[in-house]
Amino acid sequence: MIHKTTLQQTRTAPLGMSAARPQPRRGVRFFMQKYGPPMGLVLPFVVLFVLFVLWPVLRSLYLSFTDYTGIKAPNLVGATNYVNMLHDPRFYKALRNSLTYMFFTSLISTSVGLLLALSFGGQKLAHQLMRAAFFLPLVAGGVGIIGVWKWIASSEEFGLFNTVRKMFGAESIRFFGDPHYALPLLIVIGVWSVLGYNMVIFVAGLRSIAPEIYEAAAIDGAGPSARFWKITLPLLRPTILYVLVTGMIGTFQEFFTPYVLFSDTNNVGGILDSGLTLTVYLYDVGFRHFEMGAASAIAWLLFTVIFILTLINLRIGRINDLD
């Protein structure tokens, strides 16, 4: 049996010659047999993405170079919308307000959120209740909550802030009638609304740090302050950067808060446009003045700023990988 099997193998594959390998099948039929089913599964998503995401984005880019008003057919006007925007004082007012609101809201909410995570990051019942209390504004947020803040800061007799001030003999403050209070009020509401979310993210980051690291540092004689600056902050760097950058992007896109607080029948930005942001400015140009082409140009400016912030985030992430 061994002799016959060896002889058959020798006849099948002669010495010095390898057996011929089957050539891979090629062509449209083989491609569809192999990749057709998975492509069919993702095809509905691709169609919806093209129709409701990609096409509107490209369409808005085209409209930013037209005089489209939503009524008549658009006509190409080149970069006129961008030039007019750069010569509009309201644009610079909105840009300055948006950048100020973004900077202070992101900075304060990140630092205070980290402080709250350090204070209430344990497993005690009191810590869990505090985390739930701070996270509640994110769950119950929306136009209704902003309306509550509008009542709290109202200049009328029923305004909570001014009612408390009267109890101590202080005069009332017109929060919505004085331009100097517009941005501080926006920043306070912005910090209050995202503080709980930042705290929860930092609590998760703190729990990812191994306790053995702190124990080894304590054995070496490092105090609480040294452990915070030398261990906690460096190991929380990716979390801090994530919270900071995503917070900057989110606050830069904020619309409901300034619109609900300061808009009326005559103006959308409050007294002297003190509460005007880029998103509200976009709404005013596009849906109150029906200059859809100019509004598309503002939208693409917003996209450019957010894209730059995203690139910064990705760049920082690569630096962390190299470290």
pLDDT grade for 223, boundaries at 50, 70 and 90? confident
State the pLDDT at residue 265: 64
* pLDDT greater at residue 237 or residue 104: 104
In whole angstroms, give the CA distance from residue 276 to residue 267: 10
Residue 228 clears pLDDT 50, i.e. is over it: yes
Q: Tell me, what CATH number does 169's domain have? A: 1.10.3720.10
- 148-164 per-position pLDDT tens digit: 888 888 877 778 888 88
pLDDT in tens, 69-101: 888 888 999 899 999 998 999 999 999 999 899
What's the rounded mean pLDDT across residues 183-196? 91
pLDDT of residue 20: 52
Q: Is residue 17 part of a domain?
A: no
Query: Which residue type is seen at 179?
Result: P
Residue at 231 is within a domain: yes
Is residue 16 one of the residues assigned to a domain?
no
The predicted structure's pLDDT at residue 321: 53
Q: Write the secondary structure of 271-319 as one string of H (helix), E (strand) and C (coil).
A: HHHCCCCHHHHHHHHHHHCCCHHHHHHHHHHHHHHHHHHHHHHHHHHHH
DSSP code string of 110-178: HHHHHHHHHHS-SSSHHHHHHHHHHHHHHHS-SHHHHHHHHHHT-SSTT-HHHHHHHHTTPPP--TTT-
Q: Domain for residue 20, yes or no?
A: no
| Structural domain contains residue 40 | no
Backbone angles phi, psi at 289, to 5 degrees: -105, -5
* pLDDT at residue 322 is higher than 50: no
Token pair recorded at residue 284 = 């005013």
pLDDT of residue 149: 87
- Comparing 9 with 80, the larger pLDDT belongs to 80
Q: Is there a domain that residue 77 lies in?
A: no
Please tell me the predicted confidence (pLDDT) of residue 319: 53
Structure tokens at 270: 């409050």
Instruction: Provide the number of structural domains found in the chain.
Output: 1
The verdict on residue 91 lying in a domain is yes
Is the pLDDT confidence value at 15 over 60?
A: no
Residue 102 falls within a domain, yes or no? Answer: yes
Tens-digit pLDDT profile for residues 104-161: 999 999 999 999 999 998 888 888 898 888 888 887 767 778 888 888 888 777 788 8
In which band, very low, low, confident or very high, does the pLDDT at 26 lie, cut at 50, 70 and 90?
low
Range of the domain at 104: 85-322
Q: What is the pLDDT of residue 25?
A: 58
